[in-house]
Chains A and B, each alone.
Chain A
Amino acid sequence: MKPRIAALLSLFVAFAPAAPALAQDAPKLGELERKIEVLTQEFEKLKLGDAAEPSASKSVLGYAPAASKVYRAQTNKVSIGGYGEMIYQNGSKRKQNALPAGTRDTADLLRAILYVGYKFNDWITFNSELEFEHGTTGSGRGEVSIEQAYIDFRLRDEIGIRAGTLLVPMGLQNEMHEPTTFHGVKRTSVEQSIIPSTWRENGAGVFGDIGPVSYRSYLVTGLQAVTNTGVSGFTSPSGLRSGRSSGAKSLAEDFASVSRLDYTPVQGVLVGGSFYIGQADQSLIVNSAPVTLWEGHLKAEYRGAELRALYAEGRIGNADSINIAQSFTSAAKTSVGSKVFGGYVEGAYDMLTLAKNNKGHSLSPFARYERYDTQADTPSAFAKNPANSRVEYTLGVTYKPIPQVAVKADHQWLLNQAHTGVNQWDLGLAYIF
């Protein structure tokens, strides 16, 4: 489009110097004004793009006039976006109990992501997220994954159909995980250990907005409770996390349903919850392995102040059968938790909202408290590991020179009931485009 604008402007410039010479020639001056008017109209059309098209007035292919506009509009467009995050982690040399921690500091290109989307027409859209983690797949350190790849059939605002590899619509960070959207160098522990973010599954469902309420309801492949075909199965320290098959040759013997409701009573406030229920045995063990997980969340912003809170709780049925299949023993305290829970509350304030003539910078100190336990309950014959009952405090700051770039720093006090937690401080650099 830009060469066309340049060509129009050169024509405009070419006419302009002639104006004084034509001053005494009224008809020619009128013609010059008319041409300038035509040029400005063309210029406006180029600036506004598709919106400058005349409104739909007659039907095409039997659709109502508005519906048939899709056949005239130039809506075939590829969209490319992305985000990335680099982090530095510096662990304390001592554990809570003062014994040597044995950790090493790390610097990691944690994620580099490309979004590629294609808008087939006004109501059918493809979107995908291609993820590179940890810089390289060499030495077994990193991985390449499709985090999501789905097609939306947006029938109307109130209802659409979505199918493909979908992000499970739970919590505040699983669907919205771009690093510029949350405080802290890393995602919250609760939304990694209780809600296993980034959690995606193959499936289909419906979504939509009805006034201040938005909803999503999907049928997806179930989790996998025990080791098979490259999936580790549930574990004691990370709950459901290693039971994700991430859309890769997922066993589809069992399905799950997940539904979410969000309500926005006033702009800047979002309150909602979600519920997941499904089986996870995938016909790999004799007994079923029912999983339920629910969560409630709140996000509120007022001027520079931000508040986030979330609580999640899950149950894993027949955990003793899973333990036997996985050779988890009471002596090793490695039992899968039959109950997991976690929650956090976080507050932040953008100090630069108080500054005059601020050109979009933000500087937000924040504080977060997290409490979670991936073995809140275990089957009666299996002992718990107190290291899985954890409390974390995070203090940090997020600086954004522009909304798409964030520089982060934080300190985390990571405590557990076995007194083996290791504190750390982190630095992060994040971008989104």
Chain B
Amino acid sequence: MGPRTRLHILIAALVAGAAFFVAAPARARVLMAKKDALALAFPAAEPERKTAFLTDAQAKAVEDAARSKLESKIWTYYVAGSTFAYFESHLVRTMNETVMVVIGSDGMVRFVEILSFAEPDDYLASPRWLAQFKGKPLSEDLAVRRGLRNIAGASLTSEAVARAVRRALAIHKILNTGPLE
């Protein structure tokens, strides 16, 4: 081992040591629990928990409008004033992700939060990417490579989140404004 190799190793050890020192106080990466997510969606009020039991016809209409399959006809959601929060778990690649979609009474997305994500962190959607959904209604354009940008290197995540948001919007619409066009 020559002097340049020893220098390389020394530099690497110093960088690694500094990284541990700087980062140690906040070791765990914690995704959001449902209670915290609800506090974010309803900062000023205690939301009412509701459960919808979709009929076969409603489920079919939601699937058509969302262009994806519904895994369940039982949907629990939370409402306070003009704010609605829907939770959904779905498969990304081989592991699950849970999201909260917050929708206003105008039928537009207010924001989307990831509550849990079991795939490698490299594939996790960033808050910047999730911000794209703000103000979007259910439409043909609410799809990756249409009105939504892809996540570079994590297209399965972007497709999965986009489908979940479309399902939440379609369910919201059918529960609150009647049949879908």
- Identify the A interface with B (CB < 8 A): 37, 40-41, 43-44, 47-56, 63-64, 66-70, 75, 77, 79-81, 117, 119, 121-123, 125, 127, 152, 154-161, 176, 181, 204-206, 209, 212, 217, 219, 253-255, 257, 264, 266-268, 270, 279, 283, 299, 301-304, 350, 353, 356-360, 362, 403-404, 432-433
- B159 touching A121, Cβ below 8 Å: no
Which residue on A lies nearest to B88, using beta carbons?
A: A47
Q: A56-B30, A254-B4 are in contact. List 11 more A-B contacts (CB 8 A).
A: A40-B51, A48-B89, A49-B89, A50-B116, A67-B28, A81-B94, A117-B120, A122-B28, A283-B2, A302-B149, A303-B145
Given A79-B118, A360-B67, A268-B72 contact (CB < 8 Å): no
- A79 touching B119, Cβ below 8 Å: yes
- B23 touching A159, Cβ below 8 Å: yes
Minimal beta-carbon separation of A243 from chain B (angstroms): 17
B1-49, CB < 8 A from A:
1-2, 4-5, 8-9, 11-12, 15-16, 19-20, 22-37, 49
Contacts of A48 in B (CB 8 A): 34, 87, 89, 98, 115-116
Q: How far is the CA of A119 from the CA of B156 in the complex (A)?
A: 20
B58 on the A face (CB < 8 A): no
| 24 A-B pairs with C-beta separation under 8 A | A40-B51, A43-B74, A47-B87, A49-B116, A51-B34, A51-B115, A52-B33, A67-B28, A75-B118, A79-B94, A79-B118, A79-B120, A155-B19, A156-B23, A205-B15, A219-B8, A219-B12, A254-B5, A264-B152, A268-B150, A283-B2, A302-B149, A304-B145, A353-B146
Given A212-B128, A403-B159, A204-B20 contact (CB < 8 Å): no
- A359 touching B74, Cβ below 8 Å: no
Which residue on A lies nearest to B53, using beta carbons?
A: A40
B52-108, CB < 8 A from A:
67-68, 72, 74, 76, 87-89, 93-96, 98
Which residue on B lies nearest to A178, using beta carbons?
A: B153
B181 on the A face (CB < 8 A): no
Given A63-B27, A77-B118, A433-B22 contact (CB < 8 Å): no
Q: How far is the CA of A258 from the CA of B16 in the complex (A)?
A: 15
Minimal beta-carbon separation of A66 from chain B (angstroms): 5
Chain A to chain B: the 7 pairs with minimum beta-carbon distance, closest first: A155-B23, A268-B149, A51-B115, A267-B149, A55-B33, A219-B12, A51-B116
- A66 touching B30, Cβ below 8 Å: yes
Minimal beta-carbon separation of B90 from chain A (angstroms): 10
Given A154-B121, A299-B152, A356-B140, A350-B74 contact (CB < 8 Å): no
